[in-house]
Amino acid sequence: MGSLSPEQLISKWNENPMYMPRIAKVTVNIGVGEGGERLQKAAKVLEMLTGQKPSFRRARRTIREFGVRKGEPIAVVVTLRREKALKFLNMVFEALGWRIKSSSFDDFGNVSVGIKEHIMLPGAKYDPELGIFGMDIAITLERPGFRVMRRRRKKSSIPRRHRVSKIEAQIFFEKVLNVKVV
C-alpha cells in the first residue's frame, strides 16, 4: 500500500468499495481532572455541542500531586458515529481551518486533534455560567469488514494489509474530506 501513488490508491478504492476506508467513530473527550460542579458543566457543554448524552470516566489510579483519587469521575466522553460524526467533524475542521498536522496521524490511520477552547467551534456560544473547556477529538478510520475482529461469534484477527496505513489516512482526509494535511 505504501508504494502506491495517491491516484493509484484512489482508483483502487473506486474499483473495490470494500477497500476504501471510512470513519468508524469520532470520540470527543473533555478531561477536567476533578469531579463535582466543573465536571457537570463540561458534560453540559459536550451535550450541547454533540447532541448526545456524555459518559463519565473515572480515574484509573490515585495521583496525589493533582488531588485525584482512584475511581473518582474526572472526564466526560461522547462517541459519535455516522451522520452525527460527520456533522461534528465539519464543525471541528472549520475551527481548525481545514488543516491537520501530519504528526496527528498514527500508524493505523487514526487521527487525534485538540481544541483549546470549545467556543472556537462555529455555532458554540460562550456562556459565563459554564465557562470554557478544551477537548480532545479522536477519529478512527477502518475498512469495511472490521466487524470480524469485534463480533461475538467466530471472532478473527484482521491482517496488516486490511488495516488503514498512515499514508492512506492522509490521502483519505485530503481527497474525501477536503482537509489539508500539513
Pair type for strands 135-142 and 22-31: antiparallel
For CA atoms 97, 85, 104, 9, give the dihedral sign. Answer: negative
Across 64-101, b (16+ Cβ under 10 Å) vs e yields: eeeebeeeebbbbbbbbeeeebeebbebbbebbeeebe
Three-state SS at 146: coil
Across 145-168, b (16+ Cβ under 10 Å) vs e yields: ebeeeeeeeeeeeeeeebbbbbbb
The pLDDT value given to residue 64: 78
State the residue for C-alpha cell 457537570: 40
Pair type for strands 73-80 and 135-142: unpaired
In 3D space, the residue among 173, 22, 29 whose CA is nearest the CA of residue 93 turns out to be 173
Say if CB 103 and CB 84 are below 8 A apart.
no
Three-state SS at 40: helix
In 3D space, the residue among 138, 132, 127 whose CA is nearest the CA of residue 77 turns out to be 138
CATH topology of domain 6-181: 50s Ribosomal Protein L5; Chain: A, (3.30.1440)
Write down how long the chain is: 182
Dist. CA 78–CA 29, nearest whole Å:
7
The pLDDT value given to residue 6: 79
Residue ranges per structural domain of the chain? 6-181
The pLDDT value given to residue 73: 82
pTM: 0.84
Per-residue tens of pLDDT for the chain, all 182 residues: 456 787 888 888 888 888 888 899 999 998 887 777 888 888 888 888 888 899 888 888 887 787 778 878 888 999 999 898 989 888 888 888 888 888 889 888 899 998 888 888 888 788 888 888 888 999 999 888 888 888 899 999 888 888 888 888 888 888 888 888 88
